[in-house]
Amino acid sequence: MKLSQKRIPFILIAAGILLIAASVYFYISTGRFIEDAHSTSGKVIALVDIPADIESSGGVLYAPVIKFTTHEGTTITFQSTHAANPPPYDKGDTVAVLYHPDDPGNARVHDFMSIWIAPLVSLFLGICFLAAAGWKTRGLALFMISVLLLSCGGADKKDAANGAQGNLTRIWCHSDLQPENLDELKYYQAAVDDMAAAYTRVDIGLVPGDIVYAKKDAAVYYRAFLETRKKLNTPCWLEIAGNHEARHLEAFIKNIGKPLHYASKYGNILFILMSDEKRTPMQEISDDAFQWWRSLVINNQDKIIITVTHACLKQSGLLSSAFPTMRIAGSDRFAEVLKEYHVDIWISGHSHLPVYFNRKVNRPFRYRDTLFLEVAAIRKDIISGIESWILELEHGSRKVRVAARNHGRGKETWNKTFTHELRLPYNKTTGSMYNCTIIPFSEMK
């Protein structure tokens, strides 16, 4: 039976979609494997011949056989899935190995091809099938390739943060709890429990808004928030009002005990925090508050400056900045200042996009000194999980470690851990080290 010519494109399209879906599946499963894997070193003890119909390779590919010992002392031998001619490794070579503690026999060599060949081959074949079907796939292909390549780095990032505790300052950045009912308070409880189990100390809790959801019974939810976080024994808390608190700003001020706009000093860090002033689609920051922020930025260039708002700056390049309702109204005012003066980190919330969307973090070319970071959300809904971000600064160093954490899984997210370089070394002993002094907007006008 002859296959109709009209059906061929539909078959190719279906095959292409299935292969790209397989690529996404392999990508996610590989990421989860890396999250859970232990790392060690192994030795190549043999090369196995694999027949191949490739003239240039002489019809033979070589796959290394690796022997390693787990942390529990078990000796494992496995064959790498990456075969090539010439062979990727020689007999006697030492290689990095990743293995799951529950299934050490299913180990992988920790190199790019061994880890990522399955999602990349599936993606390539899927794009080829779609292209053969006549689809205009150039944009899709570039998007999918960009997502994979931008996400494949930084794989084996374990929590080494509990060392050097005396010199380390840890900041827990989280927002958009906004429980719609009492049952949803469990998400924040899970996040706090995870933080308490994972880290010996959290020095600063930074919350860029939307602690509560509705005006009705807001005090009940504020009290639950304040009570739940006590488990961390965190000495310094910095919160602002988001668009949901803007429905009843008096309740935010009364229950949280902070003004809408204020600054705070911790070592040589100057935090500048600005709340949402009105219940409107965009974050409203008055011109008086902007001028106050501008003055602080200009007059404190000898400090590490961290700005905190609920919505992001239009010019941040974050994915959420593409949506007008996720931006600060009048963002151009702030962007003009950033062209001439330094702000080291700009933290926002508001968007509930999960961390696997790459544009949760950005360093725009025009504002290269500024790291823009969107830290929401501590809640579970259709697309988001119980997620937050952690900043770790070490006394005397210009480097700040930035890590996303999935509290539902109890792990830092495998491809969202990186280092940002500050303009100045962090000095923990400058000023009020543990006091976290609050300086209200009215005192600095």
Cβ-in-10-Å burial (0-12, 13-18, 19+) of 418 comes to middle
Which of 130, 148, 109, 161 has its CA nearest to residue 405? 161
> Residue 3: inside a domain, yes or no?
no
Residues 364, 216, single domain; the answer is yes
Of 441, 437, 395, 444, residue with least CA distance to 266: 437
Give the residue numbers spanning the domain of 145: 8-151
Q: Are 129 and 254 within one domain?
A: no
Q: Domain check: are 170 and 248 in the same one?
A: yes
pLDDT at 142: 47
The amino acid present at 335, given as its one-letter code, is A
**Whether the predicted model's global pTM rises above the 0.85 cut:** no
Burial 338-353 (b: 16+ CB within 10 A, else e): beeebbbbbbbbbbbb
- Does 250 lie in the same domain as 205? yes
Residues 288 and 359 in one domain: yes
- Please list the rounded mean pLDDT of every run of 10 residues in the chain (445 residues): 66 82 80 76 90 60 91 91 84 89 87 80 83 58 48 41 66 94 92 94 95 86 94 95 91 93 94 92 92 96 96 92 91 95 95 77 85 91 82 94 90 80 88 68 59
Q: How many domains does the chain have?
A: 2
- Pick from 385, 347, 372: nearest CA to 194: 385
Q: Which of 122, 151, 180 is the last residue of a domain?
A: 151
Would you say 347 and 269 are in contact if contact means Cβ atoms under 8 Å apart?
no
Q: Is residue 385 part of a domain?
A: yes
Q: Which residue has the tokens 């494109």?
A: 9
Measured between alpha carbons, how far is 331 from 91 in angstroms, rounded to an integer?
A: 59
The continuous run of DSSP H or E covering 38 comes out as: strand 38-51
Q: Which of 111, 129, 151 is the last residue of a domain?
A: 151
Residues 217 and 116 in one domain: no
Total Cβ atoms within 10 A of residue 17: 14
Q: Would you say residue 1 lies in a domain? A: no
Q: Are residues 40 and 140 in the same domain?
A: yes
Domain holding 392: CATH number? 3.60.21.10
**What is the structure's pLDDT at 435?**
62
Q: Rounded to whole angstroms, how far apart are CA atoms 230 and 438?
A: 20
d(CA 121, CA 306): 42
Q: Cα–Cα distance between 252 and 254 in angstroms, integer?
A: 6
Are 229 and 129 found together in one domain? no
3-state SS, residue 380:
coil
Does residue 392 lie within any of the structural domains?
yes
157 in any annotated domain: no
Output the DSSP codes for 5-24: TTTHHHHHHHHHHHHHHHHH
Residues 254 and 119 in one domain: no
Q: In the beta sheet, which residues pair with residue 389?
A: 173, 404
In a domain? residue 159 = no
Structural domain ending residue among the three candidates 151, 174, 195:
151
Do 72 and 189 fall within a single domain?
no
Do 111 and 13 fall into the same domain? Answer: yes
Nearest to 271 by CA among 305, 322, 245: 305
- Tokens 């928030």 belong to which residue? 225
* 99 within a domain of the structure (yes/no): yes
| Residue 223 forms part of a structural domain | yes
Is the same domain home to 98 and 169? no
- Find, among 82, 75, 49, 79, the residue nearest to 66 by Cα: 79
Q: Which two tokens stand for residue 243?
A: 């668009």
Do the beta carbons of residue 358 and residue 147 sit within 8 Å?
yes
Distance CA 431, CA 158 (A): 32
